[in-house]
Amino acid sequence: MNSLSKLQILMSVFLLLFLLAVVVNVLLILPAIVILFLEFTLSNKLLRKERPEDWKNYLMLFLGYQILVAALIIGIMALLGGGSLLSSGPDMGLDKLYNVMILMLFILVVVALLQIVVRRKYTYGEILFSTAGWAGVKIETDLFSKVKASNYAVCNPRKLKLSKDDRVRVKVDKKPFSASFPSEIDYIQK
């Protein structure tokens, strides 16, 4: 399991604990804070080592999502009058449900805009082998460029002198309604 997967699991645990702290018992916020601290530690150690160019961006992206979801939880609870989310008592009027749906729609729009803003046309990888015009590049899953983890054959149009294990930036081509794929080496990371 890579560090991004571990970070996603910690993020899910934090959000679950935060929801339970708001709905069930406020003391559950303490383990949620511990999980948040573990996220920072993980990103500082493992993610920094695996993705030296992007670890801060990933950390900010995950924290942004967590803040949005936490705001959604708090907003829903405030709109419902502080009762339990599972209650269907008299506090659950049609006007409150309408407000909750507007809040959820707002959060979805912000998440969609965040996806557009963080989308990029390059990714990073390590050289496996190279020839005059082509190179084999190992690329890990990249959330920003929407590239899946695999080994790719990419073009080396500038005829850069590449060695095994060099860290390179690779341009990404994307087609509508399909996954992105690496196409050519942009430059060598130093």
Q: What is the pLDDT of residue 117?
A: 75
Residue pair 119/146 in contact by the 8 Å Cβ criterion: yes
The span from the CA of 102 to the CA of 108, in Å, is 10
Higher pLDDT, 184 or 103: 184
In the chain the domains, ranked by start, together with CATH numbers, are 3-118 (no CATH), 122-188 (2.40.50)
Rounded to two decimals, the pTM is: 0.68
Name the band, by pLDDT with cuts 50, 70 and 90, for residue 106: confident
Average pLDDT, integer, range 37-48: 85
Residue type, position 67, single letter: I
pLDDT mean over 12-34: 87
Q: Which of 167, 125, 174 is nearest to 146 (CA)?
A: 174
Please report, as a single letter, which amino acid is at residue 151: N
Report the 10 Å Cβ neighbour count for 118: 15
Q: What is the DSSP string of 129-185?
A: EE-SSEEEEEE--BTTTTB-SEEEEEE-TT-----TT-EEEEEEE--TTS--EEEEE
The mean pLDDT value of the chain amounts to 82
Does residue 85 surpass a pLDDT of 50? Answer: no
Tell how many helices (H) and how many strands (E) occur in the chain.
Answer: 5, 5
End-to-end Cα distance, the chain: 27
- Band of residue 90 on the pLDDT scale cut at 50, 70, 90: very low
pLDDT confidence tier of residue 143, bands split at 50, 70 and 90: confident
- In angstroms, the CA 119 to CA 74 distance is 28
